[in-house]
């Protein structure tokens, strides 16, 4: 979905409010693709903030299906967005680098999905868990340890240990 922002960008003090149905059906984060959709139309307010300049205020809510980081069970992950972005008309940005920071703009046109996807990726949670104390799956037999223990001969971390393990893993990822 493309929105032409010419009116807001060229008319001082112009404010345009609109609701948009997005066509987002998935998002790719860190090489994984997660299916999902918007929970409601996205609310936009476009406010002129000077010559060839506008502010975008947006509110949106999405739900994506992702596997639990420990047991791989599908989890519905809600992403609520509420953000503000400044945009420039192509000829108004004094510094061309400013214009390059808005890849979701093509001239006076906003690519709604492009903008929203970049915001979703930024808001993507570090950890996705089906529940805070998910015990994960047994690395030997694959049993879901939330449903009971298995007979494998190995140390089964309790949820507190799993939390500590996450901290170590997070540190290693940095």
* CB of 87 closer than 8 Å to CB of 126: no
Residues in 78-117 at the binding interface with Zn ion, rule: CB under 5 A: none
Name the segment binding Zn ion (CB under 5 A); options: 9-17, 51-59, 99-107, 141-149. Answer: 141-149
Residues in 116-135 at the binding interface with Zn ion, rule: CB under 5 A: 130, 134
Give the one residue of 114, 150, 157, 166 binding Zn ion; rule: CB under 5 A: 150
Question: Considering Cα of 100, then 102, then 108, then 113, what sign does the dihedral take?
Answer: positive
| Closer CB to Zn ion, 96 or 148, in the complex | 148
The position carrying tokens 């979703």 is 120
Give the shortest CB-80-to-Zn ion separation in angstroms.
22
| Closer CB to Zn ion, 96 or 139, in the complex | 139
Torsion over CA of 4, 37, 99 and 52, rounded to 10 degrees? 30
H/E stretch holding 129 reads none
Closest to 67 in 3D by CA, of 98, 100, 30, 97: 30
Give the one residue of 20, 68, 89, 112 binding Zn ion; rule: CB under 5 A: 68
- The binding site for Zn ion (CB under 5 A) comprises 68, 70-71, 130, 134, 138, 140-141, 143, 150, 152
């Amino acid at each position: 979905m493309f929105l032409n922002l010419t009116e807001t960008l060229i008319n001082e003090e112009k404010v345009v409010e609109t609701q948009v149905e997005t066509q987002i059906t998935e998002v790719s984060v860190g090489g994984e693709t997660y299916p999902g959709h918007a929970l409601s139309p996205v609310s936009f307010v476009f406010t002129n903030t000077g010559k060839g300049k506008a502010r975008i205020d947006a509110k949106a809510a999405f739900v994506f299906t992702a596997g639990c980081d420990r047991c791989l069970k599908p989890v519905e992950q809600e992403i609520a967005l509420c953000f503000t972005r400044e945009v420039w008309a192509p000829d108004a940005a004094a510094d061309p680098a400013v214009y390059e920071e808005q890849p979701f703009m093509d001239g006076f046109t906003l690519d709604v999905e492009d903008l929203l996807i970049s915001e979703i990726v930024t808001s993507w949670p570090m950890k996705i868990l089906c529940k805070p104390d998910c015990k994960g799956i047994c690395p030997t037999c694959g049993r879901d340890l939330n449903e009971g223990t298995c007979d494998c001969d190995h140390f089964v971390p309790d949820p507190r240990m799993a939390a500590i393990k996450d901290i170590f893993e997070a540190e290693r990822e940095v």
